Amino acid sequence: MPINGHTTSSVDCLNFNSHLHPRVWRSALGADPIAWKCQLTKSGQHERNPETTKHEKRSHANHLFAASYDSFSKEAISLVAGFERNRDFATTTRVLHRTCLTVLCRFRYMSFQPIENYGVIGNMRSIALVGMNGSIDFLCYPDFDSPTVFAALLDDSQGGRFQIEPQLTNMRVRQLYLPDTNILLTRFLAEEGVAELTDYMPIQQNGERSNEIVRTVSAIRGNVSFKMLCQPRFDYARSAHRTEISDGCAMFIPDDNIYSPMALYSTVALRPQSQDVASEFSLQAGATTTFVLGGPRPGGQPHEMEVVGKHFLQTSRFWKKWIAKSKYKGRWREMVNRSALMLKLLISREYGSLIAAPTFSLPENIGGVRNWDYRFTWLRDATFTLYALIRLGFVEEAEAFIDWLKARASDDAERGPLQVMYGIDGRRKLDEFALDHLCGYKNSRPVRIGNAAYQQLQLDIYGEMMDAIYLANKYGDPISYAGWLGVQRMLDWLGKNWQRPDEGIWEVRGGAKEFLHSRVMCWVAFDRALRLAQKRSLSGPLDVWQRTRDEIRNDIFTNFWNDELQSFVQSKGTQDLDASALLMPMMRFISPVDPMWLSTMRAIESRLIEDTLVRRYEVARTHVDGLPGEEGSFTACSFWYVECLARGGELERAQLLFEKLLGYANHLGLYSEELGSNGQHLGNFPQAFTHLALISAATYLDRALSGTGETVWH
């Protein structure tokens, strides 16, 4: 490639810096980001050397550009153009150092699996994502919100993985859950043989709480060879570790002693591979081998591999017994049950809280910055969670979640009595920062952990909290005296603050506004408190609550209705639309057949809906969230739309669109947060909010189609 009259090739680039061994550059050109970072650092030292001449600086930059071009295709052309326009060689080289790493990540773009290619296994304490290629590419351990041990999903080179791969040619892969369980089966099919990989996290009936991943490999037909690679990367791939291998066991011991060691037990021989562990083995038809990854046995004792079969049966029975409690027997039983089983995985067995998703920083837009940490419990999900659990008949989980919610009602957050989200244990501080050393999924950066939205004011959470308390009292035990005092204290604060601008349901970072949804949910808070007081004969300032409720209602119809659009709008004084308005009839603020609501639906359909896919708002036009780039359609909103149609009596249309939505699920019936225009899954995966909305829509629509429930709201 000619640059400034000099023709270079990748061979030249391997030798342009005499103090670097060619293997370093070969490693870099082979897309090893660690080698690249090393080389870029040394390049920076070269640039800062005062004895380096201007010509040498130019030659150095030219060669680095050429390496980028030869290795990473035409993306380097734009860098060259920038170099030619910039006379500041120091600045140019520093920018180049940063940019080459980005180009490297893009070069590795195709090595990432689609988000929808994953299944999940878990034990209500931790969750692992298992790809169709047999690789566990994501695991936070030992808890939902612990640092990652495997994070290849976010950095294919540095993140770490646990892969078991059959050596078959022209393989076809099928993945499924064993019926009514969260035990995952991956099948590898080829002419020369068939292999199966069974993944699960044991749940034992005797009260023991082993926190392990069990991977059993079987040859079904033929003589099948396998390769296994276990490469843990502790603390989000920030902590190094050493590996010790003994008979049938590999110990991974982090350098930082705040992280517990992990052990890999195996029925086949293990060998070291740098700081990782590998194995190559073959199985005849009918033979199996097992790997168990978890905490080390006390005193260095070997794993009791003979009990793995027993744990498998116990785990299978646990899931089958649990899902058998479901009261849903309707048209979409398989999808509803799968959603329920997935939600159960997201419920903390220790605390009873529900995390929004087991992952963090999976992008809402490939290559964009909309990457958030969802490993926390949102109060907003409370109402949908209780509704889903109660409707499906899971009383124990509902009661545990109610207890967790009651403890939050006694909190005093910085911005009012309640906080937007909490850690699974109820902690309030969830500071957000970026992991700059990780490339991110398909170069979607920054990779964030923590969530700064916990500091936001989001007034809608008071409506969700009060609706959850109302449902808990309707279907469970009456509220306690202390609990009712907590409600009064919360509503006293809300009565003085409901008119404040806030960041709203979508947690915007573009500035606070008076959002319609927040105002509606403030109405819900006072409405549910009045209903509860009347049903349970509870005392309180009911006259004040009623006046406030009516004042909020009048404010909504006066200030959030746009005559020109014939629609309710996203925020006061705008002409923007928002899909969160779809919750208005579902929260019984307005009838689903009210003319004002029907015209709002038409406006939303014309601007936010394409067939069955619903966008939250018009990102590019409004810039309401203060973030660059676009996003996909929001799948929970699509299920809300279906339910609104059903509540309005449009049953045939609702059923058709619901069936279309089911077609967007992945091969296991799981959904991420959003969908791209081509149907790809975007955002954190799998997402509780989406599955809660699915259960709500399926439950209502099935009742309406069967004539066993009301079709319109009265």
Read off the pLDDT of residues 167-207 as tens digits, 9 standing for 90 and up: 999 999 999 999 999 999 999 999 999 999 999 999 976 65
CB atoms within 10 A of CB 16: 16
The SS3 of residue 497 is: helix
At residue 366, the pLDDT reads 95
Q: Burial of 208 by CB count in 10 Å (0-12 exposed, 13-18 middle, 19+ buried)?
A: exposed
Instruction: Give the pLDDT score at 32.
Output: 41
Distance CA 342, CA 330 (A): 19
Residue with tokens 């005062």, as numbered in its chain = 50
Task: Please tell me the CATH superfamily of domain 113-311, with its number.
Answer: Glycoside hydrolase, family 65, N-terminal domain (2.70.98.40)
pLDDT digits (tens, 9 = 90+) for 391-402: 899 988 988 998
Token pair of 519, please? 């105002």
Question: Can you give the pLDDT at residue 407?
Answer: 85
C-alpha span between 537 and 478 (Å, rounded): 11
How much is the pTM? 0.86
Q: Helix 333-346 vs helix 381-392: angle between axes, to the nearest 10 degrees?
A: 130
Q: Which of 67, 140, 70, 137 is nearest to 97 (CA)?
A: 67
Low-confidence ranges of the chain (pLDDT < 50): 1-77, 79-81, 83-85, 87, 97, 106-108, 711-714
pLDDT given at position 173: 98
* Interacting residues of 446 by C-beta distance below 8 A, sequence separation 6+: 361, 369, 371, 434, 435, 436, 440
Instruction: Round to whole Å and give the CA distance between 342 and 326.
Output: 14
Q: Which helix (H) or strand (E) holds 161?
A: strand 161-166
Q: Residue 460: which of 332, 346, 556, 575 has the closest Cα?
A: 556
Structure tokens at 497: 């603050």
Looking at residue 102, its pLDDT comes to 52
Structural domain boundaries of the chain? 2-107, 113-311, 333-706
Q: Are 567 and 508 in contact (CB under 8 A)?
A: no
Cβ atoms within 10 Å of 272's Cβ, excluding its own? 12
Q: Do domains 113-311 and 333-706 have the same CATH topology?
A: no
- What pLDDT shows up at residue 298? 81
Task: DSSP letter for 298, please.
Answer: G
Q: Is 2 helix (H, G, I), strand (E, B) or coil?
A: strand
User: Nearest to residue 224, comparing CAs of 276, 165, 265, 264?
Assistant: 165
Give the right CATH number for 333-706 from 1.50.10.10, 3.40.50.1000, 3.50.50.60, 1.10.10.10. Answer: 1.50.10.10
Residue 416 is classified by DSSP as B
